[in-house]
Amino acid sequence: MSQRPIIGITTMSDHDAAGLHAPRFSNNQSYSRAVMAAGGIPLLIPQVEDEESLRALYDVLDGILVPGGVDINPRFFNEDLHPDTDMPDNGLDFVETTMLPWALADDLPLFGICRGHQVLNVVMGGTLWQDIPSQYPTVFDHRESYKRKIRDYLAHDVRIAPDSRLRELVGAERIWVNTSHHQAVKDVAPHLQATAWSPDDLCEGLEGTDHFFLLSVQWHPEEMVRKHEWARRLFGAFVEAAAARKSSRVETEATLRALSGIAA
């Protein structure tokens, strides 16, 4: 059995491919490449439609990376669809809102990025700004990297809480980040704490207050690992936590097998 941890990465419905190609489940290669570079084995999770199949996939995972993508359906935080909110990807919403509570209950390592940052907050009881330009007063364009078509474009800095795991990992009070989002965390969920903020005071980092490893960021570190050591450290810490989880599970299973043999 490989000692490298298996990292689940959820996938979106690739609607842009419909009509020209067969519809597909997909995600940006940068997520998988960043996980592999950190020593993990990425496993893309398709949009299975029943809980039993999803549970079978979940049970092989040592950690979950919740990536960027289209907006989560606002019904999950008791709001109607804003005119500028994306049409929901219902299959993706089902997978993430079903699987993440299992992971939280099991204390499975979790790393959220962009949409994933927002989804973790929603699943744990928080809310979102559905559309920053129309709902939140700011002079910043939080989609600047996307609009420039430069995925690692450094658009603004973020300040990081001094006593946070994020601060420990990046090793700086402020870092410059890319930005490609139009939604943001509004009310922080119970059992989460805000750890980073953009210059207009939007929450750009979260971490769990009582979890082994639960960290999320609003920007896209997977696009920054080639040039920025701190981005590599984020993935390294996440994969290391998943490896520790795997090791613990293997030891537990070995103990149970030994006890079963004694009982027999």
Catalytic residues: 114, 220, 222
Q: In a 10 Å sphere around its CB, with 0-12 CB exposed, 13-18 middle and 19+ buried, how is residue 194 labelled?
A: middle
The residues near 160 (Cβ < 8 Å, ≥ 6 apart) are 166, 167, 170, 172, 173, 174, 175, 195, 196, 205
Mark out the alpha helices in 50-164 (DSSP H runs): 51-58, 90-106, 115-123, 132-135, 144-148
Separation of alpha carbons 119 and 11, rounded Å: 14
Reduced to 3 DSSP states, what percent helix, strand and coil does the chain have, rounded to the nearest 5? Answer: 40, 20, 40
Separation of alpha carbons 189 and 165, rounded Å: 18
DSSP letter string, 24-72 = -EE--HHHHHHHHHTT-EEEEE---SSHHHHHHHHTT-SEEEE---SPP
- Cβ–Cβ < 8 Å for 243, 201: no
SS3 214: strand
Nearest CA to 64 among 5, 118, 126?
5
The residues near 33 (Cβ < 8 Å, ≥ 6 apart) are 222, 225
Tell how strand 6-10 and strand 41-45 pair up: parallel
